[in-house]
Amino acid sequence: MKTIKGPAIFLAQFVGDEAPYNSLESICQWAKDLGFVGVQIPSWDSRLIDLKLAAESKTYCDELKGKLSDIGVEITELSTHLQGQLVAVNPAYDAMFDAFAPDEVKNNPTARQKWAVQQLLYAAKASENLGLTAHATFSGALIWHTMYPWPQRPQGLVEAGFKELGKRWKPILDAYDAAGVDLCYEIHPGEDLHDGVTFERFLEEVGNHSRCNMLYDPSHYVLQCLDYLDHIDIYHERIKMFHVKDAEFNPTGRSGVYGGYQNWANRAGRFRSLGDGQVDFGGIFSKLSQHDYDGWAVMEWECCIKDSEQGAREGAPFIQKHIINVTEKAFDDFAGGEVDQALINKIIGM
What is the predicted pLDDT for the residue at 341? 86
What is the predicted pLDDT for the residue at 215? 98
What is the predicted pLDDT for the residue at 328? 79
If you average pLDDT over residues 278-292, what whole number do you get?
A: 98
Alpha-carbon distance 321 to 35, whole Å?
A: 12
Asked if residue 343 has pLDDT above 90, the reply is: no
Asked if residue 47 has pLDDT above 80, the reply is: yes
What is the predicted pLDDT for the residue at 143? 98
User: Confidence class of residue 335 from pLDDT cuts 50, 70 and 90?
Assistant: low
**Of 215, 51, 232, 231, residue with least CA distance to 127:** 51
Asked if residue 250 has pLDDT above 70, the reply is: yes
If you average pLDDT over residues 259-288, what whole number do you get?
A: 98
| Per-residue pLDDT tens over the stretch 144-194 | 999 999 999 999 999 999 999 999 999 999 999 999 999 999 999 999 999
What is the predicted pLDDT for the residue at 156? 98
Q: What percent of the chain has pLDDT over 70?
A: 98
**Of 311, 317, 277, residue with least CA distance to 297:** 317
Residue 6, classed as helix, strand or coil, is strand
Q: Are 12 and 20 in contact (CB under 8 A)?
A: no
Asked if residue 36 has pLDDT above 80, the reply is: yes
| Per-residue pLDDT tens over the stretch 216-234 | 999 999 999 999 999 999 9
Which CATH code of 3.20.20.150, 3.40.630.30, 3.40.50.970, 3.40.50.720 fits the domain covering 5-347? 3.20.20.150
pTM over 0.85: yes
Alpha-carbon distance 176 to 213, whole Å?
A: 11
If you average pLDDT over residues 35-51, what whole number do you get?
A: 98
What is the predicted pLDDT for the residue at 155? 97
Alpha-carbon distance 54 to 57, whole Å?
A: 5
Instruction: Please state the domain extents for the chain.
Output: 5-347
| Per-residue pLDDT tens over the stretch 67-93 | 999 999 999 999 999 999 999 999 999
Q: What percent of the chain has pLDDT over 90?
A: 93
User: Confidence class of residue 337 from pLDDT cuts 50, 70 and 90?
Assistant: low
For the chain, give the mean pLDDT: 96
Contacts of 14 (CB under 8 A, 6+ apart): 21, 27, 301, 308, 312
